[in-house]
């Protein structure tokens, strides 16, 4: 029996990132409220939110302090653009706080509304920068198979997942996709992790050789890949890749949209993996999803060149109506302050150790081909034949079946194509709830 709401949903909503035909048969799941790490559906059933929404509700649900700050800011000053040198207090406070969090000395922060628009801005800023310093031919962007960087025209092109390109006719000319760092899936038979890393590093060097370092502007990468399937870099990967980029003057755009603000056990994934990014993209946990907001960290050398060039035309012509929206900025600023007050990054690191230890026995489960994770993020890649690393036929929809079984057990996880079960709970999760999550998943 379809409820009236569900019918209205089917009649009037266009669901993003959804199997649209499947939805007609299954109908939507309508969530109605949340508290802490739990959410409830329309029928009052409780679930442990094992995916933090879409990797984002770091501080959990129902945080009254963030609701209070939002309401207060709406009453005081609901909107004031940062265009034309105007400013607002929450944006200034947030940028100042971020400058203490972000490991890019002297960075300035350009705000947006989503990870996609922030990564899109990254591409524009980098092109602007190279034009400004008289290297307009340095414009190609490297990305990787399995990468997820967003859904705008440019960022969907950067995304290394075929479904995000197919049927969309994206311009791809200036994007070069390198091989995925997914060792378990793409290692040759018998290839060691070290040999796999070497192969990926050589591939990068060959691409640079072929295209010319003077034509490649940047490489965009997540420290570990979230939406692509919780793909951790193989051991030694960043140690090998980073110097190649540095030697060839290729800027590293660090996409911290999933990893940022404690997910991997340190403030940023780049710190966990020893990356040295030129720029950073942040969103999601930046506001714990209480408001849509993103940020690009721009280093001084880029800012100064852009300032100089924009000075020539009198205008740096990029920005959204809602860049630095005061309500979003006030909420994000208080969100980060609460993280500081509560030692949430350290808490996430402790809970992460527990989560990984409790998950470890699942590596022996006959359905689990590969278990991987760090901090409070994990992926279980299912296999039809564990020894042969053979995946299930896509038509078996095994990942979706496992995610559906979890839902029946009162746990939200996500099935990523390739039958990968992703786990990424709110960072406030406690010991008992970590155990509950793993018990239900098991
Ligand atoms: N970058 C990464 C690593 C992401 O995981 C996402 C979204 O999941 C994005 C960018 C795009 O962010 P948004 O969905 O806010 O546009």
The domain that holds 267 is classified in CATH as 3.40.640.10
Residues 6+ away with beta carbon under 8 Å from 128: 306, 309, 316, 318
Q: 163 C-alpha to center of ligand 1: Å?
A: 15
For residue 196, pLDDT beyond 90: yes
In a domain, 327, yes or no: yes
222 and 259 Cβ atoms separated by less than 8 Å: yes
Q: 55 C-alpha to center of ligand 1: Å?
A: 9
Answer yes or no: do 95 and 210 share one domain: yes
Answer yes or no: do 125 and 243 share one domain: yes
- Complex ipTM > 0.90: yes
Average pLDDT over residues 223-238: 98
Answer yes or no: do 319 and 203 share one domain: yes
Q: 209 C-alpha to center of ligand 1: Å?
A: 31
Query: Pseudo-torsion of CA 28, 17, 285, 246, nearest 10°?
Result: 170
Q: Examine the fold and report which residue of 341, 373, 397 is the final residue of a domain before the chain moves on.
A: 341
- Which stretch of DSSP H or E encloses residue 369? strand 368-374
In a domain, 5, yes or no: no
The best mutation among 53, 111, 112, 115 to test binding of ligand 1, ranked by most ligand atoms within 8 Å of the C-beta, falls on: 115
Nearest to 439 by CA among 357, 356, 359: 359
Q: Examine the fold and report which residue of 295, 312, 341 is the final residue of a domain before the chain moves on.
A: 341
Answer yes or no: do 293 and 379 share one domain: no
Band the pLDDT of 2: cuts 50, 70, 90.
low
Answer yes or no: do 318 and 363 share one domain: no
For residue 1, pLDDT beyond 50: no
Answer yes or no: do 157 and 291 share one domain: yes
Q: Considering all CA atoms of the chain, what is the largest pairwise distance in Å, rounded to the nearest integer?
A: 64
Answer yes or no: do 311 and 426 share one domain: no
For residue 60, pLDDT beyond 70: yes
- Single pTM value for the model: 0.97
> Does ligand 1 come within 6 angstroms of the Cβ of 257?
yes
In a domain, 184, yes or no: yes
Answer yes or no: do 337 and 372 share one domain: no
The best mutation among 111, 112, 116 to test binding of ligand 1, ranked by most ligand atoms within 8 Å of the C-beta, falls on: 116
In a domain, 58, yes or no: no
Residue nearest to atom 8 of ligand 1 (CA): 227
For residue 313, pLDDT beyond 90: no
Average pLDDT over residues 177-190: 97
Query: Higher pLDDT residue, 249 or 311?
Result: 249
Q: Examine the fold and report which residue of 341, 364, 395 is the final residue of a domain before the chain moves on.
A: 341
For residue 259, pLDDT beyond 90: yes
Average pLDDT over residues 102-127: 98
Average pLDDT over residues 352-357: 98
Nearest to 219 by CA among 124, 320, 143: 143
Answer yes or no: do 355 and 279 share one domain: no
* Number of domains within the chain: 2
CA distances from residue 138 to 131, 217, 255, 406 in whole angstroms, order as listed? 8, 5, 20, 48
For residue 21, pLDDT beyond 50: yes
The best mutation among 258, 270, 277, 328 to test binding of ligand 1, ranked by most ligand atoms within 8 Å of the C-beta, falls on: 258
CATH number for 353: 3.90.1150.10
Nearest to 39 by CA among 439, 407, 418: 407
> Does ligand 1 come within 6 angstroms of the Cβ of 226?
yes
- What is the number of alpha carbons within 13 Å of residue 298 lying toward its C-beta? 24
- The mean predicted confidence, pLDDT, of the chain is 96
> Does ligand 1 come within 6 angstroms of the Cβ of 148?
yes
Whole-angstrom distance, CA of residue 274 vs CA of residue 287: 25
Atom of ligand 1 nearest to the CA of 150: 11
Residue nearest to atom 12 of ligand 1 (CA): 115
Which residue pairs from 274-278 have beta carbons closer than 8 angstroms and sit at least 24 positions apart in sequence?
A: 274/238, 274/239, 274/242, 275/221, 275/223, 275/238, 275/242, 276/242, 276/246, 276/252, 277/104, 277/252, 277/253, 278/104, 278/218, 278/251, 278/252, 278/253, 278/302
Answer yes or no: do 332 and 404 share one domain: no
In a domain, 126, yes or no: yes
pLDDT of residue 310: 83
Task: State the angle between helix axes of 431-441 and 344-359 in degrees (0 to 180), rounded to the nearest 10.
Answer: 30
Answer yes or no: do 424 and 290 share one domain: no
In a domain, 380, yes or no: yes
> Does ligand 1 come within 6 angstroms of the Cβ of 115?
yes
Whole-angstrom distance, CA of residue 258 vs CA of residue 289: 12
In a domain, 59, yes or no: no
Q: Which residues span the domain enclosing 379?
A: 36-51+343-441
Answer yes or no: do 279 and 347 share one domain: no
In a domain, 179, yes or no: yes
Which DSSP symbol is given to 41?
Answer: E
Atom of ligand 1 nearest to the CA of 115: 12
């Amino acid at each position: 029996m379809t409820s009236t709401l569900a019918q209205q949903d089917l009649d009037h909503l266009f669901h993003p990132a959804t199997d649209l035909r499947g939805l007609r048969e299954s109908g939507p799941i309508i969530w109605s409220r949340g508290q802490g790490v739990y959410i409830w559906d329309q029928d009052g059933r409780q679930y442990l939110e094992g995916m933090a929404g879409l990797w984002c509700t770091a501080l959990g649900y129902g945080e009254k302090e963030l609701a209070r700050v939002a309401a207060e800011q709406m009453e005081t000053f609901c909107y004031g653009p940062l265009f034309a040198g105007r400013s607002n207090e929450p944006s200034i406070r947030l940028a100042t706080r971020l400058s203490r969090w972000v490991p890019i000395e002297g960075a300035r922060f350009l705000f947006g509304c989503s990870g996609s628009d922030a990564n899109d801005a990254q591409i524009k800023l980098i092109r602007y920068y190279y034009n400004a310093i008289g290297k307009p031919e340095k414009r190609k962007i490297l990305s990787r198979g399995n990468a997820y960087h967003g859904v705008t025209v440019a960022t969907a092109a950067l995304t290394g997942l075929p479904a995000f390109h197919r049927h969309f006719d994206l311009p791809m000319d200036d994007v070069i996709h390198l091989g995925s760092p997914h060792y378990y899936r793409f290692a040759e038979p018998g290839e060691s992790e070290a040999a796999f890393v070497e192969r990926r590093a050589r591939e990068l060097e060959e691409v640079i050789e072929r295209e010319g370092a003077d034509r490649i502007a940047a490489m965009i990468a997540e420290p570990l890949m979230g939406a692509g399937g919780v793909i951790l870099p193989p051991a030694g990967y960043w140690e090998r890749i980073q110097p190649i980029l540095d030697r060839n003057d290729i800027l590293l755009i660090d996409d911290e949209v999933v990893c940022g603000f404690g997910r991997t056990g340190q403030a940023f994934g780049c710190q966990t993996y020893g990356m040295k990014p030129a720029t950073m993209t942040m969103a999601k946990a930046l506001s714990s999803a209480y408001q849509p907001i993103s940020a690009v960290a721009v280093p001084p050398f880029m800012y100064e060149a852009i300032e100089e060039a924009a000075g020539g035309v009198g205008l740096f012509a990029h920005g959204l109506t809602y860049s630095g929206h005061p309500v979003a900025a006030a909420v994000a600023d208080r969100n980060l302050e609460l993280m500081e007050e509560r030692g949430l990054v350290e808490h996430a690191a402790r809970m992460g150790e527990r989560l990984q230890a409790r998950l470890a026995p699942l590596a022996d489960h006959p359905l689990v081909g590969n278990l991987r994770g760090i901090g409070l993020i994990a992926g279980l890649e299912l296999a039809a034949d564990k020894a042969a690393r053979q995946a299930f036929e896509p038509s078996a929809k095994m990942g979706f079946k496992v995610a559906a079984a979890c839902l029946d057990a009162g746990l939200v996880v996500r099935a990523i194509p390739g039958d990968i079960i992703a786990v990424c709970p709110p960072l406030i999760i406690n010991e008992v709830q970590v155990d509950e999550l793993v018990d239900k998943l098991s």
